[in-house]
């Protein structure tokens, strides 16, 4: 079936990727069947009036009630709560769902998409980092499909077209290096939330912007790449490429490197995950090669940005450790954004929690969920002890 005959669902429609997905749905003239978000009533109301989906779900029940009365003059069904979001996904006739839910909360919707045999245009990286084994099982059992939306993984996916993973020598995962790539450790210590939120290239939410600046995001992407493309951690090479023109590459066994390039614009990645294997005209600009004076590449400074090697530690350990890493970072970043701890304190706190945590090698989903909870508590306690 052609993607144009399909309707789509947009999960997490009010966030950055969600809003760009709405633009893509309009651009491709797709019928939108379902919108979900957490609590942004005004944004989702505007989207709903424009796209006229069958159903809207806000996981915050109070916000859902507000939306319900606002949309009372339409035929759109409005529900509230996490469970309603899951049943709406499973009941949706959409063949494709963009999963742009952020954080650990993206796992349950991803599983619901798999159970209803959808193509998941996957923007949520936490579900992949934490619980890929379980998600993959559901995808395979139900004949669902997952196409990455994260720009690097979309690039790698494109470079791999038709190639088996045993042909891969290395994956070259590019990183903009973040806004602080040229700073010394001493300079990093003085960084506060507002400095970190001035990311140079991609338009994103606050948490992922801090993660990009600390290279934690790149660390999560290493784990994501290992899982999605079935390679060993040592086959993933992170390269700092500040211009963000080459979005990642694959080096094959014969040392040939195939890279994917384009203007840095998430809408291209979202659109490709929907239209794959077809390609459609884009909203992103065409690359003007003459205006790109140079493309530079360098190694990441792992002795300063220690969260990147910590991610390699986590994926080599595997088990519950990636979940601990994710949870601990989320808490540390929250404290940093509230100006309670400094930028480099994120590195110290997260490293301590992760390295001290006792692993469970072949965890159940419950083990993973418990590790997530425990890591959050341990991180808070550690922060409270150090920064009284
Ligand atoms: Mn990315």
Question: What spacing in Å lies between the alpha carbon of 151 and ligand 1's midpoint?
Answer: 5
Contacts of 374 (CB under 8 A, 6+ apart): 324
Ligand 1 centre and the CA of 208: distance in Å? 9
The overall pTM is greater than 0.85? yes
- Ligand 1 center to residue 230 CA distance, Å? 18
Q: What is the per-residue pLDDT across 174-223, written as a single tens digit (0 to 9) for each?
A: 999 989 999 999 999 999 998 888 855 566 778 889 999 999 999 999 99
- Rounded to the nearest angstrom, the distance between the alpha carbon of 152 and the centre of ligand 1 is 5
Using the mean position of ligand 1's atoms as its centre, give its distance from the Cα of residue 329 in Å.
Answer: 17
Q: What pLDDT digit, counting tens, does each position of 111-167 carry?
A: 999 999 999 999 999 999 999 999 999 999 999 999 999 999 999 999 998 777 789
Say how many Å lie between the CA of residue 77 and the centre of ligand 1: 34
What is the full DSSP assignment across 133-178? HHHHHHHHHTT-EEEE-SHHHHHHHHHTTT--GGGEEEEEEEE---
> How far away, in angstroms, is 297 Cα from ligand 1 center?
17
Å from CA of 381 to ligand 1 middle: 30
> Is 383's pLDDT higher than 90?
yes
Q: From the CA of 221, how far away is ligand 1's center (Å)? A: 7
């Amino acid at each position: 079936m052609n993607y144009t005959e399909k309707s789509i669902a947009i999960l997490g429609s009010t966030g950055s990727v969600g809003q760009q997905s709405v633009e893509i749905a309009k651009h491709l003239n797709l019928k939108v069947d379902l919108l979900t978000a957490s609590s942004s009533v005004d944004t989702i109301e505007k989207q709903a009036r424009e796209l006229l989906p069958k159903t809207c779900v806000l996981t915050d029940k109070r916000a859902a009630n507000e939306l319900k009365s606002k949309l009372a003059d339409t035929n759109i069904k409005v529900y509230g709560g996490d469970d309603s979001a899951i049943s709406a996904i499973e009941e949706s006739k959409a063949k494709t769902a963009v999963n742009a839910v952020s954080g650990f909360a993206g796992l349950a919707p991803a599983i619901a998409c798999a159970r209803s045999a959808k193509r998941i245009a996957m923007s949520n990286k936490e579900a992949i980092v934490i619980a890929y084994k379980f998600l993959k099982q559901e995808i395979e059992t139900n004949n669902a499909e997952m196409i990455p939306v994260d720009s690097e993984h979309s690039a790698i996916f494109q470079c791999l077209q038709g190639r088996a993973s045993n042909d891969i020598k290395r994956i070259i995962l590019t990183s903009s290096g973040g806004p602080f790539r040229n700073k010394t450790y001493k300079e990093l210590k003085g960084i506060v939330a507002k400095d970190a939120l001035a990311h140079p290239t991609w338009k994103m939410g606050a948490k992922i912007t801090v993660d990009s600046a600390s290279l934690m995001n790149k660390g999560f992407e290493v784990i994501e790449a290992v899982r999605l493309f079935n390679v060993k951690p040592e086959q993933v090479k992170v390269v700092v490429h500040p211009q963000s023109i080459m979005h990642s590459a694959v080096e094959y066994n014969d040392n040939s490197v195939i890279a994917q390039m384009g203007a840095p614009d998430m809408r291209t990645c979202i659109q490709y995950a929907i239209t794959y294997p077809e390609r459609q005209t884009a909203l992103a600009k065409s690359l003007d090669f003459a205006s790109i004076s140079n493309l530079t590449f360098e190694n990441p400074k792992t002795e300063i940005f220690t969260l990147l090697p910590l991610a390699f530690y986590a994926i080599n350990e595997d088990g519950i450790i990636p979940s601990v890493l994710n949870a601990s970072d989320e808490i540390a970043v929250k404290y940093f954004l509230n100006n309670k701890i400094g930028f480099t304190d994120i590195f110290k706190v997260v490293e301590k929690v992760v390295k001290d945590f006792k692993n469970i090698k072949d965890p159940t989903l419950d083990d993973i969920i418990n590790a997530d909870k425990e890591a959050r508590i341990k991180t808070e306690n550690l922060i409270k002890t150090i920064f009284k």
